[in-house]
Chains A and B, each alone.
Chain A
Amino acid sequence: MSEPGAEPVGPPGRARLADLIGLLARLTLGVVLMVAGGLKVTSPKVSAMAVRAFQILPYDLAGYVGYALPVLEVAVGLLLVAGLFTRAAAVVGGLLMLAFVIGIISAWTRGLSIDCGCFGGGGTIAASQTQYLSDVLRDVGLTACAAWLVVRPRTAYSLDDRLFG
């Protein structure tokens, strides 16, 4: 959609590299959110129970959070993959990841043995089956992706670039 007169400003190598790192961050966070949300979106009751199993929020509120999370994840994931409203989507995605990290660490430190239910499932499992460390590391990594995009939302091959760039 670039006008004939406005020739594309050939970005210096570093900016191009940053755009590509942004693309990687956007796709990583976006795809993970889409998959995680997509796996849960058809079974809201399971998702509700997974949130309740953290035993942080009151019963009813935890249920509502469980119903909303998959839809929100899919929506944010779609925006990120498309590169549309990248900064806004990254803010929401990053806050979600922070909440997940806090929730998982909270469950861990309270000695609960639960499956985070991040990709469906959830509930109590054998202590030997818990994978809090890898869950936390994954979500910290995804938080970093979100942080990058909040600070520098410009990425390669984004709709933002096409529409507003």
Chain B
Amino acid sequence: MRPDASKKIATVTPKGGPNPIVIGAVIAVLVVVAVVVAILVGNNSKSGSDAGASGSSTPAGVVGGDAGGILANPGAAKGKAPTLDTYEDFQCPQCGELEKTLGPAITAMAKAGQIKLVVHTLSFLDGNLKNDSSSRAANAAACASDAGKFLEYHGAVFAAQPAQEGAGYTDAQLTEFAKTAGITGPALTTWQKCTSSGQHAEYVTAVQTGAEKAGVFSTPTVKLNGKDISKTLTTADALVATVKAATS
């Protein structure tokens, strides 16, 4: 080491860290790390950890493709009745609010055949709340659709929504909802199998994906004949009037 030379180099080379090759290499490493992580996480989440299940069968009542919502009032809608699509996560407090204020009117119109009610049970809140209650409840509701009791089950879940967001639903609660919905006897046995095996877990994931592809990134979202009317929903009367206006 010759101090003279190093001192000379120091004066010639501008101070300011490593040379451009190192800088380029660091940028490249950062980008590669990001890409690798993205692919690893992407593959990991594609293999479907939701509700820990295997089932792929689409539940009864699904309309509009494998990622579509569940028709909550099959056979009831009259000819000119508009389609009301609701996108809800069973753990979403605002959805619980919507069910309280507008739920009765929606259910009444659905039963009277004034609307074709299609419910999309989303599950993205599992990610926010770090549990799996949205997926499990959505799967359980799909199983209830197999038993022809989707609307009843859906209502029972929201009626028992925990006051604390994120508290979730226990398996025992999900079973309670099935009984409240009027699923009994052999149908209850089938429902139980369907629920505990996560039979419709893939469908639940597909609904979430389908909603995002349709531009739905929050719940509750309500569409009337495909038009987002979420922002106009203030009172049950307003909703009924909007539906009437869309019926021609």
State the A residues within 8 Å of B (CB): 3, 5-6, 43-46, 48-49, 52-53, 55, 59, 63-65, 67-69, 71-72, 75-76, 79, 85-89, 91-92, 114, 121-125, 127, 152-154, 158, 160-161, 164-165
| Complex alpha-carbon distance, A44 and B38, angstroms | 9
Q: Are B17 and A154 in contact (CB under 8 A)?
A: yes
For B17, the chain A residues whose CB sits under 8 A away are: 85-87, 153-154, 158, 160-161, 164-165
A-B contact pairs, 25 of them (CB 8 A): A3-B6, A6-B10, A46-B124, A46-B128, A52-B212, A52-B217, A53-B217, A67-B42, A68-B34, A68-B38, A69-B34, A71-B33, A71-B37, A75-B30, A76-B30, A85-B22, A85-B23, A86-B17, A87-B18, A89-B30, A122-B217, A123-B124, A124-B221, A154-B15, A158-B17
| Nearest CB of chain A from residue B94's CB, rounded to whole Å | 10
| Nearest CB of chain B from residue A14's CB, rounded to whole Å | 15
Is B35 part of the binding interface, using a Cβ–Cβ cutoff of 8 Å?
A: yes
| Complex alpha-carbon distance, A85 and B27, angstroms | 9
Q: Are B16 and A67 in contact (CB under 8 A)?
A: no
What 1/0 flags go to B205-246 for Cβ under 8 Å of A? 000010011011110010000000001000000000000000
| Nearest CB of chain A from residue B120's CB, rounded to whole Å | 14
Which of A92, A122, A152 is close to B16, meaning CB atoms less than 8 Å apart? A152
Q: Which A-B residue pairs are the 3 nearest by beta carbons?
A: A124-B218, A68-B38, A88-B26
| Complex alpha-carbon distance, A52 and B215, angstroms | 9
Which of B34, B217, B231 is close to A72, meaning CB atoms less than 8 Å apart? B34
Is B24 part of the binding interface, using a Cβ–Cβ cutoff of 8 Å?
A: yes
The answer to whether residues A71 and B45 also contact, given A91-B27, A123-B218 and a CB cut-off of 8 A, is: no
| Complex alpha-carbon distance, A123 and B209, angstroms | 14
| Complex alpha-carbon distance, A124 and B231, angstroms | 12
Q: Are A164 and B38 in contact (CB under 8 A)?
A: no
Q: Are A44 and B24 in contact (CB under 8 A)?
A: no
Q: Are A64 and B38 in contact (CB under 8 A)?
A: yes
The answer to whether residues A67 and B27 also contact, given A125-B218, A154-B16 and a CB cut-off of 8 A, is: no
| Complex alpha-carbon distance, A5 and B104, angstroms | 85
Is B65 part of the binding interface, using a Cβ–Cβ cutoff of 8 Å?
A: no
For A124, the chain B residues whose CB sits under 8 A away are: 216-218, 221
| Nearest CB of chain A from residue B161's CB, rounded to whole Å | 20
Q: Are B18 and A6 in contact (CB under 8 A)?
A: no
Q: Are A88 and B33 in contact (CB under 8 A)?
A: no
Q: Are B42 and A5 in contact (CB under 8 A)?
A: no
In addition to A79-B26, A91-B27, A164-B17, 4 A-B residue pairs with Cβ atoms within 8 Å of each other are A46-B128, A53-B217, A65-B38, A85-B26
Interface of chain B residues 21 through 69 with chain A (CB within 8 A): 22-27, 30-31, 33-35, 37-39, 41-42, 45
For B35, the chain A residues whose CB sits under 8 A away are: 68
Q: Are B218 and A91 in contact (CB under 8 A)?
A: no
The residue in chain B whose Cβ has the minimal distance to the Cβ of A11 is: B15
The residue in chain B whose Cβ has the minimal distance to the Cβ of A114 is: B217
| Nearest CB of chain B from residue A37's CB, rounded to whole Å | 11
For B42, the chain A residues whose CB sits under 8 A away are: 63-64, 67
| Complex alpha-carbon distance, A71 and B15, angstroms | 30
